């Protein structure tokens, strides 16, 4: 990918920097540093991120990093006083602030985003979070190592959610052993959320408490306790940190959506439109889906380099086809794929973008490619519950039912408060229907039905399960509920909406179940 900023052109593949056509030379580490900053233009890049990317995780002195930053500034005609290209964020890292635009194949630059200032009060910047060192409630050295390991792993897991700005480990550990009000930490580090916790061991058992706190108000948003046997300390550490990260991420998303939905700034920025769009998206109605598509489009127009707006717009489009009145035309499917590809061109390490592209590929009946994208998403972020759900879907359509169901179980286990939890159960129920485990499929539809915003497909799956279990009267009562939820639901309607299923026998099995309940 080539980028243009000021009168420079930078090729991230060859690491060639040109100014007015002249090739500029510098040390490889300086160009690698430029590559990292440009690819994450506008984002805060921590010293830890730079160590991991430029020095491959090898810890180097602050002096070594400072020398490379200084050399890069000189190369770009910038300096520490002007900071026109590279801005230092005190105690946290650096941010590339020059307006950056990808260069299209024709050589013409793509439209430059009219980016809002990152640190405005309008909510245009990414939500920021610091994970404070978990408190060890004993004086045992081994337990302190364990609590430090939990903290470090949690920082790593949360950092994989690319829409979050996570404070680097070294900065967070500066608060170890200190009793400081979270609001003071919020002001010192300019963060929105604080994660704190404690660890207490008794014999072979350990109890871990974790809290998510609004750093501006001091209010607790989420808390959970984990009790485990310590048969394998590292396995327990991995399990707990994965679960805490998976449960914190949707809580922050919920808080951000609520904040924007209730304040609704008069001068909407791309980030505001995005969160308002996602707020409408998770209401899961046809009207809200259309509104979500509009807001996400508006977010794209405000910032053509805001990948989340493109990736989630593509997914909103697909759900509109599967549930509501968006027509599944080839033109719209092509637009959804193009939006997904554009998002990934902006950030190939974003697990959400890969998982959302997989949803588009499934709707396009490109099953193998969807499987690969979901696998990449999970490799990039093992705690991303929706990616496990997406992989479960892909495997179900391939007829790999046991693997599929394991993926749905993993999604539910990771994120039991996920805004898409009803979908985890509903899509899992469909896989169980295909596997002909009708009793368990019925149980999963019951669990989905108890969740607000659950959709009519859950009731349709329940009807199929009841039909194959021979519970005709219950199936007919469920049909009455289905027609209240989705008037005009017929087998023809179901066939039209299930256009993405791969195997004809899966569709026919489903239609037989509907027919046995009297759905014509």
CATH of the domain at 46: 1.10.10.10
Mean pLDDT calculated for residue range 464-490? 96
CA atoms within 13 A on the CB side of 475: 20
Residue 15: predicted pLDDT: 83
127-131, 163-167, 331-335, 422-426: range with lowest mean pLDDT? 163-167
pLDDT digits (tens, 9 = 90+) for 25-35: 888 788 888 98
pLDDT digits (tens, 9 = 90+) for 292-349: 999 999 999 988 888 999 999 999 999 999 999 999 999 999 999 999 999 999 888 8
Last residue of a domain, one of 262, 297, 330: 262
Q: What percentage of the chain has pLDDT greater than the value 70?
A: 92
Return d(Cα 441, Cα 470) in angstroms, integer: 14
Q: Are residues 519 and 437 in the same domain?
A: yes
Q: pLDDT band at 116, cuts 50/70/90?
A: very low
pLDDT at 54 over 70: yes
* Domain contains 378: no
Assign residue 241 a region: left if phi > 0, alpha if psi is -120 to 50, beta otherwise? alpha
CATH of the domain at 231: 3.40.50.10610
Return d(Cα 430, Cα 45) in angstroms, integer: 42
Euclidean distance between the first and the last CA atom of the chain, given in angstroms as a whole number: 53
Mean pLDDT calculated for residue range 281-302? 93
Residue 108: predicted pLDDT: 37
Q: Are residues 408 and 465 in the same domain?
A: yes
Q: Are residues 97 and 161 in the same domain?
A: no
Residue 112: predicted pLDDT: 33
Q: Are residues 354 and 286 in the same domain?
A: yes
Q: Are residues 403 and 298 in the same domain?
A: no
Q: What number of helices (H) and strands (E) belong to the chain?
A: 21, 14
Structural contact between residues 103 and 48, judged by C-beta atoms closer than 8 angstroms: no
Q: Are residues 147 and 95 in the same domain?
A: no
Return d(Cα 220, Cα 212) in angstroms, integer: 6
Q: Are residues 16 and 134 in the same domain?
A: no
Count of the separate structural domains present in the chain:
4
CATH of the domain at 314: 1.25.40.10
pLDDT at 119 over 70: no
pLDDT digits (tens, 9 = 90+) for 173-232: 888 888 888 899 988 888 999 999 999 888 888 899 999 999 988 888 899 999 988 777
Structural contact between residues 92 and 171, judged by C-beta atoms closer than 8 angstroms: yes
* Domain contains 370: no
2-6, 248-252, 313-317, 334-338: range with lowest mean pLDDT? 2-6
Residue 430: predicted pLDDT: 97
Last residue of a domain, one of 365, 395, 413: 365
Residue 59: predicted pLDDT: 61
pLDDT at 53 over 50: yes
pLDDT digits (tens, 9 = 90+) for 56-65: 666 667 777 8
Q: Using DSSP, state whether 88 is helix, strand or coil.
A: strand
- Please identify which residue in the block is written with the tokens 């949803």: 359
At 218, list the tokens. 């001091």
* Domain contains 423: yes
Residue 266: predicted pLDDT: 57
* Domain contains 359: yes
Structural contact between residues 477 and 372, judged by C-beta atoms closer than 8 angstroms: no
Mean pLDDT calculated for residue range 235-263? 84
Structural contact between residues 31 and 17, judged by C-beta atoms closer than 8 angstroms: yes
* Domain contains 161: yes
Last residue of a domain, one of 331, 365, 399: 365
Residue 12: predicted pLDDT: 81
Q: Are residues 175 and 228 in the same domain?
A: yes
pLDDT at 109 over 70: no
DSSP state of 161: S
Q: Are residues 174 and 295 in the same domain?
A: no
Q: Are residues 247 and 273 in the same domain?
A: no
Q: Are residues 148 and 179 in the same domain?
A: yes
128-142, 196-210, 325-339, 378-392: range with lowest mean pLDDT? 128-142
Return d(Cα 401, Cα 404) in angstroms, integer: 5
Write out 463-482 in H/E/C secondary structure: HHHHHHCCCHHHHHHHHHHH
210: containing domain:
128-262
* Domain contains 407: yes
* Domain contains 95: yes
* Domain contains 114: no
Highest mean pLDDT among 12-16, 100-104, 247-251: 247-251
Residue 118: predicted pLDDT: 32
Mean pLDDT, all residues of the chain: 87
Q: What percentage of the chain has pLDDT greater than the value 90?
A: 48
The Cα-based distances of 158 to 43, 154, 169, 209 in angstroms read: 16, 6, 12, 17
pTM: 0.71
pLDDT at 264 over 70: no
Residue 103: predicted pLDDT: 67
Mean pLDDT calculated for residue range 277-289? 92
Q: Are residues 205 and 146 in the same domain?
A: yes
Residue 123: predicted pLDDT: 37
């Amino acid at each position: 990918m080539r980028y243009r900023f000021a009168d420079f052109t930078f090729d991230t593949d060859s690491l060639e920097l040109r100014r007015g056509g002249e090739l500029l030379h510098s040390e490889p580490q300086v160009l690698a540093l430029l590559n990292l900053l440009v690819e994450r233009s506008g984002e805060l890049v921590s010293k830890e991120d730079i160590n991991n990317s430029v020095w491959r995780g090898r810890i180097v002195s602050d002096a070594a990093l400072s020398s490379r930053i200084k050399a890069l500034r000189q190369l770009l005609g910038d300096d520490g006083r002007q900071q026109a290209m590279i801005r230092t964020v005190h105690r946290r890292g650096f941010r590339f602030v020059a307006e950056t635009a990808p260069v299209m194949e024709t050589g013409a630059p793509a439209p430059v985003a009219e980016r809002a200032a990152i640190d405005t009060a309008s909510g245009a910047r990414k939500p920021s979070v610091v994970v404070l060192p978990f408190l060890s409630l004993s004086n045992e050295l081994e337990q302190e190592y364990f609590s430090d390991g939990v903290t470090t792993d949690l920082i790593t897991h949360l950092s994989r959610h690319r829409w979050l700005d996570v404070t680097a480990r070294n900065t967070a550990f500066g608060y170890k052993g200190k009793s400081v009000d979270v609001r003071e930490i919020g002001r010192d580090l300019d963060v929105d959320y604080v994660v704190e916790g404690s660890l207490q061991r008794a014999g072979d058992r350990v109890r871990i408490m974790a809290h998510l706190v609004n750093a501006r108000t001091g209010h607790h948003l989420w808390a959970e306790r984990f009790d485990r046997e310590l048969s394998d300390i590292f396995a327990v550490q991995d399990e707990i940190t994965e679960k805490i990260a998976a449960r914190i991420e949707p809580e922050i998303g919920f808080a951000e959506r609520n904040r924007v939905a209730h304040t609704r700034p008069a001068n909407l920025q791309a980030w505001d439109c995005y969160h308002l769009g996602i707020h409408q998206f998770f209401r899961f109605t046809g009207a809200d889906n259309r509104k979500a598509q509009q807001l996400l489009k508006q977010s794209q127009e405000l910032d053509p380099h805001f990948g989340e707006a493109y990736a989630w717009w593509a997914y909103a489009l697909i759900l509109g086809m599967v549930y509501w009145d968006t027509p599944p035309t080839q033109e719209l499917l092509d637009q959804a794929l193009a939006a997904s590809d554009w998002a990934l061109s902006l950030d190939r390490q974003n697990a959400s973008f890969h998982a959302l592209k997989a949803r588009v590929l499934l709707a396009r009946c490109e099953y193998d490619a969807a499987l690969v994208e979901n696998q990449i998403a999970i490799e990039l972020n093992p705690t991303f519950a929706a990616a496990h759900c997406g992989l479960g879907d892909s495997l179900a359509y391939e007829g790999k039912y046991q693997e599929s169901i394991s993926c749905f179980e993993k999604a539910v286990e990771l994120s039991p408060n996920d805004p898409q939890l009803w979908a985890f159960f509903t899509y899992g129920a469909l896989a169980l229907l295909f596997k002909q485990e009708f009793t368990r499929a019925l149980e999963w539809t019951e669990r989905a039905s108890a969740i607000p915003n659950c959709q009519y497909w859950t009731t349709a799956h329940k009807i199929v399960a009841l039909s194959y279990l021979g519970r005709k009267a219950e199936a007919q009562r469920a049909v009455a509920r289905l027609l209240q939820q989705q008037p005009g639901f017929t087998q023809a309607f179901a066939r039209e909406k299930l256009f993405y299923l791969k195997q004809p026998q899966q569709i026919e099995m489903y239609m037989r179940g509907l027919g046995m309940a009297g759905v014509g």
